[in-house]
Copies of this chain bind each other. A is one copy, B any other.
Amino acid sequence: MTGLMRAETLEIPEAAARLDGSRAAITDIATRMRMLSPPALVSVARGSSDHAANSWKYAVEIGTGLPVASMGPSVASIYDTKLNVSGLAALAFSQSGASEDIVALSAALRDGGALTVAVTNTPSSPLAMACDHTIDLAAGPERAVAATKSYVNTLLAGLRLLAEWREDAALHAALDAAPDHLGQALVADEQITNALTVAPWAVMLGRGPGLGIARELALKAAECCTMPAIALSAAESLHGPVAAIGPDTAVIAVGHGAGMDSSLDTLSSYGIKPLRVATAPLHPMLDPLMALPTLYLSIEQAARARGHNPDAPTRLKKETVTR
């Protein structure tokens, strides 16, 4: 059976390649960021886009040594705060570019003196109008409620901006290879599908740039499979929520590396052995991302096996209005 979520997941490699059309805009913004030399950065986003912003935050912090603050839209939309952000740079991530609160915070950041950049799949959106610059995600129309290809392109666009800003040849090379690697990952993982089909609830573990990916997968599992799903830092999981994991909990770890391995060793001593997706290593900031096509397809299949239509999640619409 082919539905929208599955079809759009299969388009991920070609959508990723299409991001090359936004390269000139990204180069221009990177040049301005080098000139500005901000003491800190701000991200603005909700939902899936905020999970992409979280991965971007780790990549920027590790790549530049500068902190990135995720600012809640309510600071502007509810609390009506006058911001004091002269000399800072702010990226607003939104597939639709239509959420009123994201637009309100972006406008407040621009009014407060920040260089503002809209990262959106809709370059004619109110968000793009409210920002100084725009990066077009060029993912193509997305009709599934569950964002897939636009989520991947959000991650890739943020990393390309970082690579341009820092003139990072290794990150550029990895991004050039990303569409091919994503193409190789277009197959569900049977073990993960089975675990998500029978489990009463799921825990997604990530670390560093994989934490935002884990959050996104928990959201996808909750909305498509109609099951409780929590994302945790693999390190944080040892601080408390591990108490609730039982033998039938689906536990899935995203990403590799020393930090993840040491946390998983501790979990293993409790008898918890998370499932992991094998991907060919590309670059530490990109590796968790490369697991996404496989995980989307696995969640999509599990949703159907549980008797849910992943293209019609309960109570959800494509665009959510919040203030």
Contacts and interface: CB of A to CB of B under 8 A. Distances in A.
A124 to B, nearest CB: 23
Given A40-B39, A223-B241, A323-B262, A69 B67 contact: yes
Nearest to A40: B40
Contacts of A70: 69-70
A46 interface: yes
A2 B50 CA distance: 42
A78 B211 CA distance: 14
Copies in the complex: 2
Classify chain A: how many residues form its interface, as a range.
35 or more
A238 B67 contact: no
Given A85-B66, A228-B230, A229-B244, A78 B208 contact: yes
Nearest to A64: B84
A69, A77, A101, A222: which has the most chain B beta carbons within 10 Å? Answer: A69
A85 B67 contact: yes
A243 B222 contact: yes
Contacts of A207: 74, 78
A167 interface: no
Given A47-B239, A69-B70, A75-B208, 14 more contacts: A39-B87, A61-B81, A65-B81, A65-B84, A66-B83, A67-B85, A78-B207, A201-B201, A222-B240, A222-B241, A228-B244, A238-B320, A242-B315, A244-B314
